[in-house]
């Protein structure tokens, strides 16, 4: 039965124009019936041109973030704003923002009446050097870049976009962490998607978390789970709790920089990958890092034309090694003489310095180089260097980047201190990573190749596609000095001239670790002139380009941690 209260004009069919206007008015009023100026007449909406002008005014206000004063404060700290960073990162005119009209979520009563343009995080996609990428940039001028509910819904949509479309995901972090006004309380029980989704994305698309300001509390796990973490010195920081909470819980009085600055994480903890001086340098590092990587795990790394001849042979390689095998040299001198144009991109250069992990190109192909560094503790492997190498090997293997191993390794550190710190567990990570890697692997033995150090640096048993040695190579379970001291200890003690006897025995053992013995028994593929190192590696990379390795079917292995 019809409602007796309806008038005749309320029940008559609407014309096409009225239907369009009515539905638009209803949408603008939250779904309620449009107001009427008089019997049967709808209130006219503003013309589209006026609505578009209002749209642009809204966008302009939102793009000011926290306003001119907050922007000035950001600049006074030597920091760019989130939008200035995005302008540097993306090719001009390619960035498409999503969620610009975001504001504190209607369900968060604690935020009623408070303004937070874009809800403190700018999200979108665009092109970096012509290739697509997604980026979330936290805006410190808006509530200290704190992470609100709407903002994280925006970032969640962005993560989904990156995963589904298989393009890199970048975070530009400058945030006080979770927005306490919204996060406090039992509704926290529904949070945590961010980190689970980051794990799912791991190894599928490159993930970069740049520390350009603070990154406090649980959000510090964003860089903890990312592939590449550059940090701006003096400004970028990360910690599970800020100084105030640390003081309240432990009584320790510490600054943000002392707690989790670039010096801590790029030199001591190893969470950071690269220490940079400014926002501009940080953005440049992100671009350069991405230039070595494919868009996703199903693609091959991008190759570049190079004017550096493939068959170039550097005469100075003959003078790099000192006369004594006990004397150090700088492995960077070797690396720069064999890669394209001498250019490398170092990963964790100031952490675990007994090993080098860097990206470079050889014959235009991106490669990951793992090299012992005799300049620091003789290049010995310890807990941090094993972790550093294992992570780098896993990274390169995930994104189809070939690995080049340059060996000069005296083995693993020994003693009660490292045993208590778990040297076996840490060394097992490196063993696991090099064993699991299925990308092309090329090994060059430059000098020492002792013990388990020879194994983890991709010795013969670890499926190198080519393994060669310089004439200076020494392959053995240990060095001749150590072997003599163990095997002939009693004989030396009983000798009338222990030093002469030891020297004679060392020379005898040294003859047994001659690389020609390994080559003569097909344990290595060749002994090469050091000047042939570059062309030898490049030819091997060409040979292994179509490599396919089948592993036994399994859910996943149990990686040492």
Torsion sign across C-alpha atoms 66, 69, 75, 77: negative
Query: How far is C-alpha 239 from the geometric centre of its chain's CA atoms?
Result: 18
Predicted confidence (pLDDT) per residue in 107-116, tens digit: 665 667 678 8
Per-residue pLDDT, averaged over 430-435, amounts to 97
Provide DSSP, 309-374: -TT---GGGGGSS-SSTTS---HHHHHHHHSGGG-EEEESTTSSTTEEEEEEEETTEEEEEEEE-T
Instruction: Give the confidence band of 117 by pLDDT, cuts at 50, 70, 90.
Output: very high
pLDDT at 12 exceeding the cut of 90: no
The 3-state DSSP class for residue 518 equals: helix
Q: How far apart are CA 341 and CA 389, in angstroms?
A: 24
- pLDDT at residue number 370: 98
Radius of gyration of the chain (CA): 31
- pLDDT at residue number 21: 42
Q: How far apart are CA 465 and CA 445, in angstroms?
A: 14
Q: Quick one: which H or E segment has residue 89?
A: helix 82-89
Q: Quick one: which H or E segment has residue 276?
A: strand 274-276
Mean pLDDT over all residues of the chain? 89
Q: Residues 6 or more apart from 132 whose CB is under 8 A from it?
A: 125, 126, 165, 167, 168, 295
Q: List the beta strands (DSSP E) in 429-494.
A: 441-450, 466-469, 474-476
| Candidate from 194-198, 381-385, 485-489, 539-543 with smallest mean pLDDT | 485-489
| Candidate from 23-32, 83-92, 246-255, 549-558 with smallest mean pLDDT | 23-32
CB 369 within 8 A of CB 356: yes
CB 370 within 8 A of CB 457: yes
CB 182 within 8 A of CB 111: yes
| 315 exposure class (CB count in 10 Å sphere: 0-12, 13-18, 19+) | exposed
Predicted confidence (pLDDT) per residue in 17-32, tens digit: 443 444 444 444 444 4
Q: Residues 6 or more apart from 338 whose CB is under 8 A from it?
A: 314, 317, 362, 533, 534, 537
**Percentage of the chain exceeding pLDDT 70:** 90
Per-residue pLDDT, averaged over 155-167, amounts to 97
CB 331 within 8 A of CB 374: yes
Q: How far apart are CA 547 and CA 152, in angstroms?
A: 41
Q: Residues 6 or more apart from 322 whose CB is under 8 A from it?
A: 328, 329
pLDDT at 182 exceeding the cut of 80: no
Q: How far apart are CA 330 and CA 387, in angstroms?
A: 21
Per-residue pLDDT, averaged over 314-328, amounts to 93
- For 183, list phi and psi in degrees, rounded to 5: -85, -30
Residue that wins the pLDDT comparison between 485 and 371: 371
What tokens does 331 get? 């492995």
pLDDT at 40 exceeding the cut of 80: no
CB 282 within 8 A of CB 210: yes
The distance between the two most distant Cα atoms of the chain, rounded to a whole number of Å, is 126
**Percentage of the chain exceeding pLDDT 90:** 70
- Please give the angle made by the CA atoms of 135, 206 and 333, to the nearest 5 degrees: 115
Q: How far apart are CA 210 and CA 262, in angstroms?
A: 11
Q: Which of 421, 339, 438, 344 is nearest to 386 (CA)?
A: 421
Q: How far apart are CA 132 and CA 116, in angstroms?
A: 28
CB 136 within 8 A of CB 155: yes
Q: Quick one: which H or E segment has residue 69?
A: helix 68-76
In the chain, the N- to C-terminal Cα span, in Å, equals: 72
Q: How far apart are CA 56 and CA 67, in angstroms?
A: 17
Q: Which of 484, 468, 478 is nearest to 540 (CA)?
A: 468
Give 362's Cβ-side CA count (13 Å radius): 27
- For 70, list phi and psi in degrees, rounded to 5: -65, -35
Kindly report the number of other CB atoms within 10 A of residue 304's CB atom: 13
Predicted confidence (pLDDT) per residue in 457-501, tens digit: 999 999 999 999 999 999 998 877 777 878 888 888 888 888 888
Q: How far apart are CA 557 and CA 425, in angstroms?
A: 15
């Amino acid at each position: 039965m019809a409602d007796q209260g309806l008038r005749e004009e309320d029940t008559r069919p609407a014309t096409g124009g009225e239907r369009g206007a009515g539905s638009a008015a209803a949408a603008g009023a939250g779904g309620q019936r449009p107001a009427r100026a008089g019997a049967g007449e709808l209130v006219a909406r503003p013309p589209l041109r006026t609505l578009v002008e209002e749209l642009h005014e809204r966008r302009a206000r939102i793009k000011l973030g926290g306003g001119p004063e907050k922007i000035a404060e950001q600049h006074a700290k030597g920091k760019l704003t989130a939008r200035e960073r995005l302008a540097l990162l993306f090719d001009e005119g390619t960035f498409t923002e999503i969620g610009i009209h975001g504001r504190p979520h209607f369900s968060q009563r604690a935020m009623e009446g408070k303004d937070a343009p874009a809800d403190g995080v700018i999200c979108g996609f665009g092109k970096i050097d012509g290739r697509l990428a997604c980026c979330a940039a936290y805006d410190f001028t808006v509530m200290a870049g704190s992470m609100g509910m709407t903002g994280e819904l925006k970032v969640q949509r962005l993560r989904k976009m990156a995963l589904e479309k298989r393009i890199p995901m970048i975070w530009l972090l400058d945030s006080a962490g979770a927005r306490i006004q919204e996060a406090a309380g039992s509704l926290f029980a529904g949070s945590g998607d961010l980190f689970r989704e980051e794990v799912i994305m791991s190894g599928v698309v490159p993930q970069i978390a740049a520390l350009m300001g603070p990154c406090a509390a649980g959000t510090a796990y964003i860089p903890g789970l990312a592939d590449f973490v550059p940090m701006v010195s003096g400004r970028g920081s990360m910690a599970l709790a800020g100084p105030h909470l640390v003081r309240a819980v432990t009584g320790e009085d510490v600054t943000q920089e002392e707690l989790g600055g670039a010096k801590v994480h790029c030199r001591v903890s190893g969470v950071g990958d690269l220490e940079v001086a400014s926002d501009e340098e940080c953005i440049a590092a992100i671009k350069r890092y991405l230039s070595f990587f494919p868009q996703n795990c199903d693609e091959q790394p991008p190759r570049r034309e190079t004017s550096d001849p493939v068959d170039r042979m550097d005469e100075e390689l003959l003078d790099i090694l000192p006369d004594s095998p006990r004397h150090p040299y700088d492995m960077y001198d070797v690396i720069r003489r064999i890669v394209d144009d001498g250019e490398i991109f170092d990963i964790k250069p100031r952490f675990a310095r007994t090993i080098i992990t860097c990206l470079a190109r050889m014959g235009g192909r991106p490669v990951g180089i793992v090299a012992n560094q005799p300049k620091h503790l003789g290049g010995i492997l310890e807990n941090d260097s094993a972790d550093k190498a294992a992570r780098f090997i896993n990274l390169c293997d995930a994104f189809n980047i070939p690995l080049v191993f340059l060996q000069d390794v005296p083995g693993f550190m020994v003693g009660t201190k490292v045993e208590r710190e778990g040297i076996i567990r840490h060394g097992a990570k490196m063993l696991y990573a090099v064993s699991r890697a299925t990308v092309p692997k090329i090994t060059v033995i430059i000098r020492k190749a002792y013990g388990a150090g020879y194994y983890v640096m991709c010795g013969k048993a670890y499926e190198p596609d080519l393994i060669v040695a310089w004439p200076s190579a020494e392959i053995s379970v240990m060095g001749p000095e150590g072997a003599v001291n163990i095997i002939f200890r009693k004989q030396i003690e009983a000798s009338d001239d222990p030093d002469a006897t030891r020297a004679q025995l060392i020379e005898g053992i040294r003859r047994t670790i001659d690389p020609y013995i390994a080559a003569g028994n097909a344990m290595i593929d060749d002994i090469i002139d050091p000047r042939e190192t570059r062309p030898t590696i490049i030819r091997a990379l060409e040979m292994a380009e179509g490599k396919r390795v089948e592993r036994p079917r399994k859910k996943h292995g149990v990686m040492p941690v």
